[in-house]
Structure 1
Amino acid sequence: MSNTQPSSSTSPSHGKLIAVVVAAALVIVLALLSAFIWPGWALNKDNASQQTTGGTSSSGNTSSDGTKDEEPTTPSIKATALPDGASELLKAMPDTVLNYARTKAEASTTWSSTSPLEEYTLTYSTGDEAKDVTLIVAQWSASDAAKTQYDALSGALTGTELGSGTVKVSGEAKGSYTAKTDANDDSKAIAVWQNDTVVFQVTGAKAAVERFYQKFPL
């Protein structure tokens, strides 16, 4: 029987391969563990994507520099004085409403067929004639007569409704109001309301009428 040296079952190259595989496995395990220990690491990419695609929206006009345009609330022009001997009704008309100032006030007869005690037509302006609004105001001896006039005026409006409701003074209903676009020109509007024995009608550009009648104090 001859003498022989025992041979190893694992070659040096095979051992190196096992070491590489084990090292790679350890790297993967450590990476997974780090994701749990420091969750932000695994979420950073998703968060960055959400922040990039997210956004906000707002209503209103926005200028080219990204700021929101807002109408001023105080007038840039002075109100015209009322005529001498103005009645209490005419004196009750405000000098200004938001950035609108009274520029004209005179007696009128637009609704004379319904026999009001007095009637006036006033113009309110921002200084830009395109935004002027015309106000007709009249008073009757009784609220029923004023309501009849209000019903006739509001019933004749056939444009798109912009608003309607009840006029209240100190919590008590004193009449109604309605505002609609002009049936012949939807860039314009008409608002009509009754306050007890007085009826008001405002006409002008749609945006101007909507701002004006909602802030009118009477």
Structure 2
Amino acid sequence: MSTQQRNSSHGKLIAVVVAAALVIVLALLSAFVWPGWAMNRSASEEQKQQQTTSTKPEPTTPSIKAKELPQDATPLLKAMPDAVLNFARTEAAPSANWTSASPLEEYTLTYSTGAIPKDVTLVVAQWSGSDSAKTQYDTLTGALKGTDVASGDVKVSGNSTGKYVVKSNGDKGKTATAVWQNDTVVFQATGSKESIQRFYSKFPF
């Protein structure tokens, strides 16, 4: 092969390599610089997934069955709802958290969605008069630490029958406690902040 032929072949090879490199560079530029379809598509899909996750509404009915109350349940215990939104009653038993306040009766109940981190623990007790219940309400709310989430009056048929306070606890606001009084009955609900905000606002009294 003559020198002229070798130079011609070498020149063609260089041209092919350069052309191939240009194609690769243009493809990369098209994908990641302009118009950026590869990056935009990935970001768009991720954003859509985040929006779907964040905007997905919580169920309003439970996916698990409520635990039956004992046959000798008192009227107060029977008044506790089987479910609040998608929280079903999974435990209900006599308790003695507030014995020093001399309630007529007291119970601790658990309401669950089926996911333990979302469980709500509810303590409920009744006194013979609203003044005694108010004293217990003041004691409980006075002991609450954390940031105020909500507060106001408990109203039944338009009449104020007590008050309520909701505070996030001192664990970076991950959990919260709601306390409310309705005449002679006092309630205290604890759980994750999100669960408490949903639970107390839909509790029937």
**Alignment match, 1:49:** none
Q: Which amino acid aligns with 1:104?
A: E
Say which of 70, 76, 81 aligns to 1:89.
76
For 1:79, the equivalent position in structure 2 comes to 66
- For 2:125 and 2:172, how far apart are their aligned partners in 1? 26
Percent identity between the two aligned chains: 62
Q: Which amino acid aligns with 1:64?
A: Q
Structure number with the higher helix fraction is: 2
Cα distance in 2 for partners of 1:151, 1:72 equals: 34
Q: Which of the residues 124, 131, 138 maps onto 1:137?
A: 124
- Per-residue deviation, residues 185-214 of structure 1 (Å, max 9, x unmatched): 520000000000000000011100110000
Q: 1:65 to 1:194 in 2, by over 3 A?
A: closer
1:182 aligns with 2:169: yes
> Which runs of no fewer than 5 residues in structure 2 stay unpaired?
1-46
Q: Partners in 1 of 2:49 and 2:89 — Cα distance? A: 32
Alpha-carbon distance in 1 for matches of 2:75, 2:172: 35
- 8 Å CA contact retained: 1:90, 1:120: yes
- Given candidates 115, 119, 125, the residue that maps to 2:112 is 125
Question: In the alignment, residue 180 of structure 2 is paired with which amino acid?
Answer: W
Contact 1:117 1:138 in 2 (8 A): yes
Q: Is the 8 Å Cα contact of residues 63 and 69 (structure 1) preserved in structure 2? A: no
Q: Distance in 2 between matches of 1:123 and 1:102?
A: 6
Offset, 1:63: 5.9
Cα drift, residue 83 of structure 1: 1.3
Decide whether the 8 Å contact of 1:102 with 1:125 is kept in 2: yes
What does residue 212 of structure 1 align with? 199
Larger Rg: 1
* Cα 1:65–1:156 shift into 2, 3 Å: closer
TM score, norm. by length of structure 2? 0.74
One-letter code aligned to 2:153 = T
Is the aligned partner of 1:103 residue 2:62? no
**Alpha-carbon RMSD:** 1.3
> How far has the Cα of 1:183 moved from its partner?
2.4
| TM-aligned CA deviation for residue 155 of structure 1 | 1.1
1:203 and 1:209 in contact (8 A); partners too: yes
TM alignment of 1:34-73, pairs within 5 A: 64=49, 66-67=51-52, 68-73=55-60
How many positions carry a matched residue from both structures?
A: 157
Q: How far is the alpha carbon of 1:141 from its aligned partner?
A: 0.3
Q: Which runs of 4+ in 1 moved over 3 A?
A: none
Taking the aligned partners of 2:171 and 2:106, their CA distance within structure 1 comes to 26
Q: Equivalent residue for 1:201?
A: 188
Secondary structure (helix, strand or coil) at the match of 1:202 reads strand
| Structure 1 contact 157–183 (Cα < 8 Å) conserved | no
Q: Structure 1: any 5+ residue segments left out of the alignment? A: 1-61
Deviation at 1:158, TM superposition (A): 2.0
> Structure 1 residue 93: deviation in Å?
0.2
Q: Secondary structure at the match of 1:186?
A: coil
- Could you tell me how far 1:157 is from its partner in structure 2? 1.1
